[in-house]
Structure 1
Amino acid sequence: MSKALETILEIDLSALTHNFNYLKSKLQPQTKFLAVVKAFAYGSDSVEIAKHLQKLNVDYFAVAYTQEGIALRDAGIKTPILVLHPQSINAETLIDRCLEPNIYSAKLLNDFITVAEQQGQKDYPIHLKFNTGLNRLGFNQKDVDTVVARLKSTTAVYVKSIFSHLAASEDLNEKDFTLQQIETFKAIASSFKSKSGIEPWLHLCNTSGIINYPEAHFNMVRSGIGLYGFGNSELEDKYFKPIANLKSVVSQIHEIDKGKSVGYNRAYTSNRNERVATIPIGHADGLSRIYGNKKGFVLLMMRKPISLVMFVWI
C-alpha cells in the first residue's frame, strides 16, 4: 500500500537548469553570472538550489544575510558568496566563513576594515554598492572620494566589484529612469576607477535588466526571480519554467448550510448550502491569511467528480 501524500513542495531542478541556460543565452560568453539564493532561494530550498547551480558552474551566489551564507558553507558550497545586507557585528564571521560583504556605508566600511586589519588580512574581497535611484542601501555618487581615501589607507581589503540595483527594469514605461540609472552607474564606475587605480568588476542588471538592457550587462549580472521561473512579463514568462510545485491533500469535506460562517473572524459566510474542503497547510507554513476569502485558489485533481465551492487552509 502506497504512503498517503501529504503537503510537499516539489522542486524541479531540470526547470532550474532551463532557466539558467535561457538567461545565460542572453549574455556574452565572458559575462559572469551571479545567482541570488536569498530567502530560502525565493521560498524553495537554498541548499539544493545552490548545489545544483554550482554543478552548472555559476560564478557567484548572493544571499541577504550572513546566516544564509553560513548555511551554504555548511552544506559544502565552495562558490564565492556575496552577502548583500551584512552588519558590522558580522565582520569576524564573514571572514571566518569566507563570505564577501556588500559594503554600503562609511560605518560598515570602517568597521570591516578594522576587523580585517586586526585579523592580519590582506586583500580580503569586498563589494561596494552605490545608490543610483533605488534609494535603499548604498553609497551616493558624492561619496566616491571618501571611499577611495579610506581604501588607500589599508591593504587589508580589496574591491572585487562595485554594483548598484535597477529600480524598474521590468517596466518599459520607466525606461528613461532606468537609462539614467545606467548612466549614473557608469559615471560612478569611471570616477572610482580613475581615482583609485582599481579595476573592479561591474554589475547592475537583475533578471529584467538581463532581458531588457543588454548594454548594461558589464562584467557580471545577477538573477533571482528569473532562475525560479518568472520573467516579470507575459512576453518573457513563456520562456521560463517555474521550478516549484506545492501539493497537498484534502483532509476533510464539510457540508455547511446557508448562513454559516467559515474560518477565523467569520470572514466568509455562505449564501447557500455548500461543500467546504480543508487542506493541511496554512499560516504557520507561510501561506498568509490574506489569501483567504476568494483571494487565492488551488487546482484540484479528483478521483471522482465532486462539487466544491471553497477551500480552507489551516
Structure 2
Amino acid sequence: MSEAVRESVLEVNLSNLAHNFNYLKSKVKNGIKMLCVVKANSYGSDAIAIAKKLHDLGADYLAVAYAPEGKLLRENGITLPILVLHPQPVNFDLVIDFNLEPSLYSSRVLQEFIRVATKRQKTNYPVHIKFNSGLNRIGFWEQDVDHIAEKLAASKAVHVVSILSHLAASEDHNEREFTLRQIDSFTISANQLIQKLGYQPILHQSNTSGILNYPEAHFDMVRTGIGLYGYGNEARYDKDLKPIASLKSVISQLHKLEPGESVGYNRAFKAKDYMTSATIPLGHADGINRIYGKGRGFVYIHGEKAPIIGNVCMDMIMVDVTHIDCQEGDEVVVFDEHTSASKLAEHAGTISYELITAISPRVKRVVIS
C-alpha cells in the first residue's frame, strides 16, 4: 500500500504491470514473443523500474524511441535486447556502444548504419527493417525490397533480426478493411524480403489493439505499449487492464471567495456565489496542461469530483471544493486505477497517452511493488 501523500507524487504499481503483461500474453499463442515498449520513460512512469520488472516477467524484447533512452537502460543494468524504433544517424555510434538494435526505415538510414557498422568492424550486427504499410510516418515501401536486399547483400556488417511495420487504426472497428490491407501489405513485403535474404527474421506488426483485435497480425512477435500501462483503447478491454500510475497531490491552501472575486491569471474564473477553492501544487510544468483549465479538467478529493477553475498555472491548479468537506493537507487524486486518466483526458479533448507521458520528472516517482 502507498503511504499518506504529502506532496505531488506519481505512484507506479508493479503488481498492476504484471497483471497487464500476463493478460496481454494470454491473448497470443505460445511461442509468440512479447516486445514491451518502454519509450518516453515507460509512458511517463519509471523506465528503469518497469524494464527490470518486465525482465522478471519474461519479456523477450524492449523497445525505445531514441538511442539515449536505450543508453539509460543499459547504464542501469538492463540486459534484454532493446529495439530503437526511430534512431537518428547522429546516434549510430551510441547505438553500437550500448548494444542497441536499430530499426532501419529508409535508404539513407540503412546505408549510414551499414557505413558506421563497417567502420566499427562489426559483423552481423542485429538490425530491424521497417516497412510502411499505411501509417505513412516512417518505413520502406514495398517497391524498396530489391534495394534493401542489394544493400544488405553487399555487406557483412549487419544481419536482419526482424522485419516490422505498424498498424494505424487497429482500435477502430470502422477501419477494419484498411487494417486488413495493412496486414496484407506487410505480409507481401516481408515475404519478398525473406526470399531474397535466404533466412527467416522475426516478423511483427501488432500494437496493443492489434494484439486484442487482430490475431492474424500476431506473426512471430507482438508489441505492447499502452496496454502494459493499463489502457486498452476500448472500454471492453479497459475493464480487464489495471492502470499502473496514480498521480496524487495535496491541498496547499483553501480560499473563501465572495461573489465577483476571480481566481488565477487573467481572472479566467469569477465566482458567481460564495464558494471555496483549493490550490494544488501541480501545473503545466508538471504535465497538467492548460487544456485542463476552465472546467475541462477535474480532480478527486475524498472520492468527490472537483473541477479545475480558471487557467492552469505553471506550478498550481485551483479547484472548486465548495461541495466537499476537506482540509488543507488532504490528499488529491488526479488519476489512479479507479479514476482513469482516459476519462480526464477525453473530457478535455485529448487522449490518455498525452496526459500520462507528460508528467514531468520533477513529480516524485514512488514505485509500489
Name 1:130's counterpart in structure 2: 131
- Output aligned runs, 1:218-297, within 5 Å: 218-297=219-298
Deviations 1:191-218 (A, max 9, x none): 1111221311100000000010011100
What is the CA-CA distance between 1:265 and the residue it aligns to? 2.4
How far 1:308 sits from its partner (Å)? 6.8
CA distance in 2, matches of 1:139, 1:181: 14
The separation in 1 between residues aligned to 2:107 and 2:212, in whole angstroms, is 33
Does 1:165 find its partner at 2:158?
no
Q: One-letter code of the match for 1:35?
A: C
Q: In structure 2, how many angstroms separate the alpha carbons of the residues matched to 1:19 and 1:308?
A: 30
Contact 1:274 1:308 survives alignment (8 Å): no
Which residue of the partner structure matches residue 14 of structure 1? 15
Q: Secondary structure at the match of 2:255?
A: strand
Distance across 1 between alignment mates of 2:252 and 2:169: 43
State the one-letter code of the partner of 2:235: E
CA contact (8 A) 2:298 2:306 kept: no
Instruction: Kindly report which structure 2 residues correspond to 1:107-126, keeping only aligned pairs within 5 A, or say none.
Output: 107-126=108-127
Q: Report the count of equivalent residues.
A: 310
Alpha-carbon offset, residue 139 of structure 1? 0.6
In the alignment, residue 291 of structure 1 is paired with which amino acid? Y
Contact 1:31–1:218 (Cα < 8 Å) also in 2:
yes
Aligned to 1:88: 89
AA of the residue aligned to 1:115:
V
C-alpha contact (below 8 Å) 1:210/1:221 kept by paired residues = yes
Q: Which residue of 1 aligns with 2:182?
A: 181
Given that 1:35 and 1:60 are in contact with CA atoms closer than 8 Å, whether structure 2 keeps it comes out as yes
TM-score by length of 1: 0.95
Q: Return the alpha-carbon distance in structure 1 between the equivalents of residues 235 and 290 of structure 2.
A: 27
2:107 aligned partner: 106
Task: Tell me how far apart the structure 1 counterparts of residues 63 and 261 of structure 2 sit (CA, whole Å).
Answer: 49
How far off its partner does 1:267 sit?
A: 2.0
Unaligned stretches of 5+ residues in structure 1: none
SS of residue paired to 1:76: coil
Q: Distance in 2 between matches of 1:185 and 1:308?
A: 47
Q: Name the counterpart of 2:198.
A: 197
Contact 1:276 1:310 in 2 (8 A): no
Identify if the C-alpha distance between structure 1 residues 301 and 178 changes in structure 2 by more than 3 Å, giving closer, same or farther.
same
Distance in 2 separating the partners of 1:112 and 1:191: 22
1:215 maps to: 216
User: In the alignment, residue 83 of structure 2 is paired with which amino acid?
Assistant: L
Who is 1:39 aligned against?
A: 40
Name 1:53's counterpart in structure 2. 54
| Unmatched tracts of structure 2, length 5 or more | 318-369
Asked if 2 retains the 8 angstrom alpha-carbon contact of 1:275 and 1:310, the reply is no
Q: Distance in 2 between matches of 1:21 and 1:282?
A: 35
Match of 2:343?
Answer: none
Q: Which residue pairs with 1:147 in the alignment?
A: 148
Report the Cα offset of residue 260 of structure 1.
2.1
Deviation of 1:3 (Å): 8.0
Query: Structure 1 residues 281-290 or 154-163, which shifts more?
Result: 281-290
How far does the alpha carbon of each residue in 1:214-260 deviate from its partner, in whole angstroms, 9 at most, with x for none? Answer: 11100000000000001111111110011111111100011122222
Task: Give, as a single letter, the amino acid of the residue that structure 2 aligns with 1:15.
Answer: N
The alpha-carbon deviation at position 309 of structure 1 amounts to 6.7
Corresponding residue of 1:26:
27
Other structure's SS at 1:92 match = helix
**CA distance, structure 2, for counterparts of residue 4 and residue 127 of structure 1:** 44
- Cα contact 2:5–2:248 (8 A) shared by 1: no
The answer to whether the 8 Å contact 2:205/2:219 transfers is yes
Distance in 2 between the 1:52 and 1:77 partners? 10
Query: Given the superposition, is the C-alpha separation of residues 276 and 160 from structure 1 closer, same or farther in structure 2, using an over 3 Å criterion?
Result: same
Q: Distance in 2 between matches of 1:297 and 1:169?
A: 30
TM superposition shift of 1:272: 1.6
